[in-house]
């Protein structure tokens, strides 16, 4: 894929033909390579999309809206990264709009080499794709550089291919320490966070004493602003160590980071909106999932950002009317890492079996994930909130070999009354009794099947029953972790 090497950001717009100069607030002179606009109907099938067999599947992917999104529909780890990696060659830009390095997105390149991404968008393996970390994300700069170094040392060129919003909030080591201290304080009711400092960083943002990426351009006042954060933490937590020399050291460290980060910094609100005007295609990559959303999830056992559709507009600065197709990623069963209610959870041997078959261990923390049956009540709730145009059912291969498969289809309250919607009240949720539908399983290995009609009848029945229950079509079916292990329905 050929690229236009452009001077960032003003020349980028000029070369793209707009003729308008971009934000004078962002100094030009750094080189960023913006991809040429992707054709809506690709000339050839790339290696990444070799799994597209039917013409209709090819057309379907090409027909995805100019701004599309891939969002988690359960409690995270549904396989969002894989779908983003597969779709990325059809998009000019892949953008993260929320969350931070609490995300762990596992993807494989064409040679089957594994990459675990945290903040860097999952479009990074495709040379022609520009990756954007939007204003709604939180950035731990040393972690971000660590990720880039890891990618570069594995032959993935990142230089000029990643933009970080000047409005995004900085996540400091101190936020990570506070995350740990808060969890320790909660004792038995801890959230089970990733300890990546996410909650404390978003708290600083909302308290309005947070530091943003653009503050790295004002090192003269950086120390004073950081001092406020340190003092805040020290006055709140007895175990929080703080001294003037620590502040000085941190400021010196950030002076070096500021220099290295400068070429990545951009007014991404401007870049994205200009790109939309220039008819470039943007794929939004969600981190976490709706059931972990600060508003819609199982509060307080949630993350601190908005991983559902609303987070796209606030986290990127793009208008609701430009957001088109949203694809909900859903595992063929359910997993959850961390504490909180999980109505269809399986314990003992049954849970172990799914965990082992699905290799359900966290990408970010390595923690064993709790496993259970698919929860259609929660899934329907997610579909309502996000308005998914289609679903990607992942890890269907993991269910092979089961004599029967259960699907949670409704909840009864403690008094036996059927609930009409997913409850917001955790006390209610913790007491629900799940009503299951039992479907026949299939015995054969489906991991090398690439055509929907070749799936065992019971597997097709499972997929179609989910479509019926949820009312949203399943367009993509994952049958393995690799790029090619995808069936287009």
Query: Which amino acids are annotated as binding site, given as ranges?
Result: 76-82, 102-106, 194, 208, 288, 303, 363-369, 395-397, 478-480
Q: Catalytic pick from 8, 92, 105, 293? A: 105
Helix segments in 115-267, DSSP class H: 141-153, 173-186, 198-207, 219-236, 244-261
Q: How far is the CB of 101 from ligand IMO (least distance, A)?
A: 9
Q: Which does 35 bind (CB under 5 to 8 A by kind): ligand GDP, ligand IMO, Mg ion, none?
A: none
79: contact with ligand GDP by CB under 6 A: yes
Q: Which does 400 bind (CB under 5 to 8 A by kind): ligand GDP, ligand IMO, Mg ion, none?
A: none
Q: Tell me which DSSP letter residue 21 carries.
A: -
- Position closest to ligand GDP via CB: 478
- Cβ neighbours of residue 315 closer than 8 Å, sequence gap 6 or more: 96, 97, 98, 134, 135, 136, 137, 305, 306
Decide if 73 contacts 332 (C-beta within 8 A).
Answer: no
- Exposed, middle or buried: residue 331 (CB in 10 Å: 0-12, 13-18, 19+)? buried
The Cα 100–Cα 94 span in angstroms is 15
Interface pattern 398-417 for ligand GDP (x via CB under 6 A)? x-------------------
Instruction: Give 1 or 110: the residue with its C-beta nearer to ligand GDP.
Output: 110
Rule CB under 5 A: which residues touch Mg ion? Answer: 77, 104, 363
Question: Minimum distance from CB of 112 to ligand GDP (Å)?
Answer: 11
Closest residue by Cα to residue 132 from 198, 197, 209, 213:
213
- Asked if 478 interacts with ligand GDP (CB under 6 A), we say yes
- Classify residue 64 by its DSSP letter: S
Closest separation in Å from C-beta 413 to Mg ion: 32
CB 285, min distance to ligand IMO, A: 9
Residue 261 or 312 having the CB closest to ligand GDP: 312
Using the 8-state DSSP alphabet, how is residue 376 labeled? H
Question: If contact means CB under 5 to 8 A according to the sort of partner, which of Mg ion, ligand GDP, ligand IMO, none does residue 481 touch?
Answer: ligand GDP
Distances (CA, A) of 437 to 53, 333, 414: 33, 13, 20
Instruction: Decide whether 102 or 129 has the Cβ nearer to ligand IMO.
Output: 102
Helix, strand or coil, per DSSP, at residue 437:
strand
Closest CA to 424 of 291, 306, 307: 291
Cα dihedral value 370, 184, 191, 246, nearest 10? -110
In terms of Cα–Cα distance, which of 383, 460, 381, 388 is closest to 422? 381
Stretch that binds ligand GDP, among 40-48, 103-111, 168-176, 183-191 (CB under 6 A): 103-111
CA-based end-to-end distance of the chain: 28
CB 51, min distance to ligand IMO, A: 22
Closest contact distance (angstroms) between CB of 392 and ligand IMO is 14
- Give the whole-angstrom CA distance, residue 433 versus residue 421: 14
Is residue 394 within the footprint of ligand GDP (CB under 6 A)? yes
Spatial separation of the C-alpha atoms in residues 479 and 482, rounded to whole Å: 9
Active site residue 205: yes
Give the nearest distance from C-beta 192 to ligand IMO in angstroms: 5
Annotated binding site for IMP: 77-80, 102-105, 194, 208, 288, 303, 367
Binds ligand GDP (CB under 6 A): choice among 22, 67, 73, 78: 78
Q: Which is nearer to Mg ion, 104 or 297 (CB)?
A: 104
Work out whether 77 is an interface residue with ligand GDP (CB under 6 A).
yes
Tell whether residue 330 is a contact of ligand GDP (CB under 6 A). no
- Stretch 128-167: interaction string toward ligand GDP, x if CB under 6 A: ----------------------------------------
Q: Is 215 a catalytic residue?
A: no
Nearest residue to 216 (alpha-carbon basis) of 245, 246, 244, 251: 251
Using CB under 6 A, list all residues that contact ligand IMO.
72, 76-77, 102-105, 191-194, 196, 198-199, 287-289, 292, 303-304, 337-338, 363
Q: Check residue 479 for interaction with ligand GDP (CB under 6 A).
A: yes
Residues 6+ apart with CB under 8 A from 397: 445, 446, 447, 478, 479, 480, 485
Active-site annotation holds for 77? yes
Token pair, residue 161, equals 């291919």
Residue 474 contacts by C-beta under 8 Å, 6 or more apart in sequence? 390, 391, 392, 393, 463, 466, 467, 489
Q: How far is the CB of 462 from ligand IMO (least distance, A)?
A: 23
Using the rule CB under 6 A, is 395 a contact of ligand GDP?
yes
Size of the residue set binding ligand GDP (CB under 6 A): 22
Q: Which string of x and - marks every residue 22-61 that binds ligand GDP (by CB under 6 A)?
A: ----------------------------------------
Catalytic residue among 169, 175, 205, 281: 205
CA dist 90 and 137 (Å) reads 24
Bridge partner residues of 478 (DSSP): 486
Q: Which residues contribute to the site for ligand GDP (CB under 6 A)?
A: 72, 76-82, 103-106, 363, 394-395, 397-398, 478-481, 485
Q: What amino acid positions are annotated as catalytic residues?
A: 77, 105, 205
């Amino acid at each position: 894929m050929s690229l236009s090497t452009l001077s960032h950001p003003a020349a980028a717009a000029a070369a793209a033909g707009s003729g308008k100069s971009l934000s004078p607030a962002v100094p030009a002179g750094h080189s960023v390579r913006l991809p040429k606009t992707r054709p809506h109907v690709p000339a050839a099938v790339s290696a990444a999309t070799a799994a597209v067999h039917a013409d209709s599947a090819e057309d379907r992917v090409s027909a995805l809206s100019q701004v599309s999104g891939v969002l988690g529909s359960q409690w995270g780890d549904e396989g969002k990264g894989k779908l983003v990696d597969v779709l990325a060659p059809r998009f000019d830009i892949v953008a993260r709009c929320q969350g931070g390095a609490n995300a762990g997105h596992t993807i494989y390149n064409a040679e089957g080499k594994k990459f675990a991404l945290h903040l860097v968008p999952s479009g990074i393996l495709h040379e022609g794709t520009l990756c954007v970390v939007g204003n709604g994300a939180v950035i731990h700069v040393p972690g971000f550089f660590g990720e880039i170094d890891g990618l570069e040392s594995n032959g993935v060129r990142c230089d000029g291919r990643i933009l970080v919003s000047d409005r995004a909030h900085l996540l400091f080591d101190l936020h990570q320490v506070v995350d740990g201290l808060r969890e320790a304080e909660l004792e038995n009711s801890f959230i089970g966070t990733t300890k990546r400092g996410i909650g404390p960083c978003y708290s600083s943002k909302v308290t309005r004493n947070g530091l943003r990426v653009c503050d790295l351009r004002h090192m003269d006042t950086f120390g004073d602003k950081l001092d406020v954060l340190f003092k805040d933490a020290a006055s709140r937590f007895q175990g929080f160590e703080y001294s003037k020399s620590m502040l000085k050291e941190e400021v010196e460290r950030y002076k070096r980071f500021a220099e290295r980060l400068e070429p990545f910094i951009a007014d991404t609100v401007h870049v994205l909106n200009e790109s939309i005007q220039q008819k470039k295609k943007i794929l939004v990559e969600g981190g976490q999932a709706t059931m972990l959303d600060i508003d819609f999830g199982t509060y307080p056992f949630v993350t601190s950002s908005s991983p559902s559709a609303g987070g796209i507009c606030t986290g990127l600065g793009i208008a609701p009317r430009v957001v088109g197709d949203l694809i909900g990623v859903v595992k063929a069963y359910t997993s959850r890492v961390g504490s909180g209610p999980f109505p269809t959870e399986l314990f003992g041997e049954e849970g172990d079996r799914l965990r082992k078959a699905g290799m359900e261990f966290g990408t970010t923390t390595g923690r064993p994930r709790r496993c259970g049956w698919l929860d259609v009540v929660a899934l329907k709730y997610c579909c309502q909130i996000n308005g998914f145009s289609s679903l990607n059912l992942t890890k269907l291969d993991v269910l092979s070999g089961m004599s029967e498969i259960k699907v949670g289809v409704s909840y009864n309250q403690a008094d036996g009354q059927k609930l009409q919607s997913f409850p917001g009240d955790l006390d209610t949720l913790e007491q629900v009794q799940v009503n299951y539908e039992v479907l026949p399983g299939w015995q054969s290995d489906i991991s090398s099947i690439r055509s929907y009609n070749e799936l065992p009848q019971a597997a097709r029945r499972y997929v179609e029953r989910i479509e019926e229950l949820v009312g949203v079509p399943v367009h993509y079916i994952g049958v393995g972790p690799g790029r090619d292990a995808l069936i287009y329905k």
